[in-house]
Amino acid sequence: MLNHIRPLDTRLPEMLRSAARLRGIFNGLPSPAIVEMCAYAGFDLIVIDNEHGSAGLETTENMLRAARASNLPCVVRCLPQDIARTLDIGASGVKIPMVNTAAQAAALVQQVKYPLPGGRGGSRGSAFSSRAAGYGAFGGPEHTARSNEGIALIVMIETPEGVANAAAIAAVPGVDAVFVGPNDLAHSMGCENRWDEPVVQSAIEQVLRAVSATGTCAGILALTAADEEKYAAWGARYFARVATGIITKALKEAAQGVPVKLGY
């Protein structure tokens, strides 16, 4: 009788459906230790950033192990062509950038979901030898069902086209959350990285309110408590910060002699 904790953490879709605020953190550093540190700090989830980060697939797998061992749900931000291998190594969910239409979102749902009898489900290739299935220990129809129900799909809106289609994207069955990428959105609107520009903030508000109105979880990068409160008032429930920004700020303060209370 196998009593081991299964590699696949399936809590995230239910967390995204809840009314609770969620605080996540993007991490592009290829380090399982950083994953553990984020868990011990108390974040609700971590996003391994394989869009802009440098982790290869083997390191990502070890970061997922660290997340599971420290009881932290773990999403991987990746490109669509990397979804299958990312899920097979045990991600709790995937976060996909630059989703502009409901048709795009629906195609991503197909990639995330396994096929089911009667033509239901999606088109994900099935292999029970993967880490997600315990290398065969937890394979079969039970793994298929656990994966289809317990893996989250988070899509990112980062362009004016995505803003215009936000409600339709959020309404696609199988989309668990819609996350605004404010930096790319600002760039795509001609504002460089200035997402505090009124025109960009207006677009962000439009997305958050439209997504929230569908009942789908709305998320946004929120680097300060004030930002979190503002975006919460617009309908956001999932907020994220960035590990490198937090670490760099702490290092600068230490270099400048700012007193730091150490935990050792």
Residue with tokens 């959350």: 177
Residue 259 — pLDDT band, cuts 50, 70, 90? confident
What does the pLDDT read at residue 264? 53
Residue 5 — pLDDT band, cuts 50, 70, 90? confident
Average pLDDT in the 126-142 region?
Answer: 95
Active site residues: 52
Q: Look at residue 261 and tell me if it is in a domain.
A: no
Range of the domain at 218: 21-255
Residue 1 — pLDDT band, cuts 50, 70, 90? very low
Q: Look at residue 75 and tell me if it is in a domain.
A: yes
CATH number of the domain within which 78 lies: 3.20.20.60
Q: Look at residue 87 and tell me if it is in a domain.
A: yes
Average pLDDT in the 225-230 region?
Answer: 97
How confident is the model over 100-127, as pLDDT tens digits? Answer: 999 999 999 999 999 999 989 999 999 9
Q: Look at residue 15 and tell me if it is in a domain.
A: no
pTM as predicted: 0.95
Q: How far apart are CA 42 and CA 71, in angstroms?
A: 10
Q: How many domains does the chain have?
A: 1
Q: Look at residue 260 and tell me if it is in a domain.
A: no
Residue 258 — pLDDT band, cuts 50, 70, 90? confident
Q: Look at residue 13 and tell me if it is in a domain.
A: no
What does the pLDDT read at residue 2? 52
Q: Is it the case that residue 137 has pLDDT exceeding 60?
A: yes
